[in-house]
Amino acid sequence: MEQPDEGVVLTIVCDNRSRKPGVEASWGFSCLLRGLEKTILFDTGGEGPILMGNMSELGIDPGEIDSVALSHAHWDHTGGLGDFLAASSDVDVYVLESFPGSISDLAARAGARIRVVTGPTEICPGAVLTGELGAAGGMTEQGLVVRTDSGRALITGCAHPGVAGMAARASEIAGGQMTLVLGGFHLLKSSESSIRSVIEELVEQGVRLAAPCHCTGEAAIEIFRSAYGDGFLDCRAGTVVDLTALLRDV
Ligand SMILES: [Zn+2]
Ligand SMILES: [Zn+2]
């Protein structure tokens, strides 16, 4: 008998903006992925109490999380790790080789299992970390590729190496184009023309849905909103996205 399709569901736990009273807005990013073999927390926001408070407000039990993947070592993505591990340390923590040792030390002390990512790495079927992207000397980062029956999405932390380049690399790794890119796009200081060329590159790659949040910048978010039209997703802390349905219906 076929299993009913529960769908892959993404919940934004921490973001600079919030959509729900009781869910606190704060500079940083964290999201939760449910519905695959593993329940995955991608990034942990900037502050432990906000991460834990928002999780509780959103009905997320720390004990249900199997894996924590960190996009890059900036405080606004790793700051909540200690408080999370104090609540639940029976997890795999995925870090890049280039992270400062303090992050792995903290995770090891809490009793978590450290997984050092040195290339594209499958967390479970349907969830693959890209491994370190970006030029040495710059701020490097990994993205999370999510595959449902209906399409693929790339989740970014800050997209420091550039969101279009990350999406292109993610497509190579996944063997097919990204339909959705969601996360921080780091375009706070970019000119309108460079933001528009990023959008052009994404559209050329076949990215039909865009969900810029966190460090994308308000102005850039508005440019994405008008350029993408119906393909724009307004994502904030408290937003819940059924990825399976979204990617099917696009
Ligand atoms: Zn950030
Ligand atoms: Zn960053």
Note the pLDDT tens digit of each residue in 105-145. 999 999 999 999 999 999 999 999 999 999 888 899 999 99
Asked if residue 250 is part of any domain, the answer here is no
Burial of 249 (C-beta count, 10 Å sphere; 0-12/13-18/19+): exposed
Asked if residue 3 is part of any domain, the answer here is no
Quick one: which of 234, 220, 223 has its CA closest to 188?
A: 220
Q: Output the CA 74–ligand 1 centroid distance in Å.
A: 7
Residue 149, classed as helix, strand or coil, is coil
Q: Output the CA 76–ligand 2 centroid distance in Å.
A: 7
Distance CA 119, CA 129 (A): 8
Q: Is the pLDDT of residue 175 over 70?
A: yes
Check: CB of residue 61 under 8 Å from CB of residue 29: no
Residue 1 pLDDT grade (very low, low, confident, very high; cuts 50, 70, 90): very low
Q: Output the CA 228–ligand 2 centroid distance in Å.
A: 24
Asked if residue 158 is part of any domain, the answer here is yes
Q: Which ligand is in closest contact with the Cα of 140?
A: 2
Q: Output the CA 77–ligand 1 centroid distance in Å.
A: 6
Q: Is the pLDDT of residue 151 over 70?
A: yes
Q: Output the CA 72–ligand 1 centroid distance in Å.
A: 9
205 DSSP 8-state letter: T
Mean pLDDT over residues 202-207, rounded?
A: 98
182 DSSP 8-state letter: E
- Residue range(s) defining the domain that contains residue 138: 9-245
121 DSSP 8-state letter: E
Q: Output the CA 103–ligand 1 centroid distance in Å.
A: 16
Residue 2 pLDDT grade (very low, low, confident, very high; cuts 50, 70, 90): very low
Cβ contacts of 85 within 8 Å, gap of 6 or more = 91, 93, 106, 107, 110, 111, 112
Q: How high is the pLDDT of residue 5?
A: 55
- CA 185, distance to chain mean position in Å, is 11
Burial of 61 (C-beta count, 10 Å sphere; 0-12/13-18/19+): exposed
Helical (H) or strand (E) element with 210: strand 209-213
Q: How high is the pLDDT of residue 136?
A: 81
Q: Rounded mean pLDDT of the chain?
A: 96
Distance CA 145, CA 167 (A): 9
Distance CA 57, CA 203 (A): 35
Residue 224 pLDDT grade (very low, low, confident, very high; cuts 50, 70, 90): very high
The count of structural domains within the chain is 1
Asked if residue 59 is part of any domain, the answer here is yes
Residue 242 pLDDT grade (very low, low, confident, very high; cuts 50, 70, 90): very high
Whether this model's pTM surpasses 0.95: yes
Check: CB of residue 31 under 8 Å from CB of residue 233: no
Q: Which CATH number goes with the domain that contains 43? A: 3.60.15.10
Name the residues around ion ligand 2, CB cutoff 5 A. Answer: 74, 158
Q: Output the CA 214–ligand 2 centroid distance in Å.
A: 10
Q: Is the pLDDT of residue 88 over 60?
A: yes
Distance CA 155, CA 22 (A): 25
Distance CA 105, CA 25 (A): 28
214: left (phi over 0), alpha (psi -120 to 50) or beta: left
Q: Output the CA 157–ligand 2 centroid distance in Å.
A: 7
Q: Output the CA 159–ligand 1 centroid distance in Å.
A: 8
Quick one: which of 71, 20, 4, 7 has its CA closest to 234?
A: 20
Q: Is the pLDDT of residue 3 over 70?
A: no
Asked if residue 54 is part of any domain, the answer here is yes
Q: How high is the pLDDT of residue 137?
A: 83
Amino acid at 178: M
- Six-digit token pair at 41? 């927390």
Distance CA 76, CA 45 (A): 5
pLDDT over 70, % of the chain: 98
Q: How high is the pLDDT of residue 18?
A: 98
Q: What is the pLDDT of residues 19-52, one digit of tens each?
A: 999 999 999 999 999 999 999 999 999 999 999 9
Asked if residue 4 is part of any domain, the answer here is no
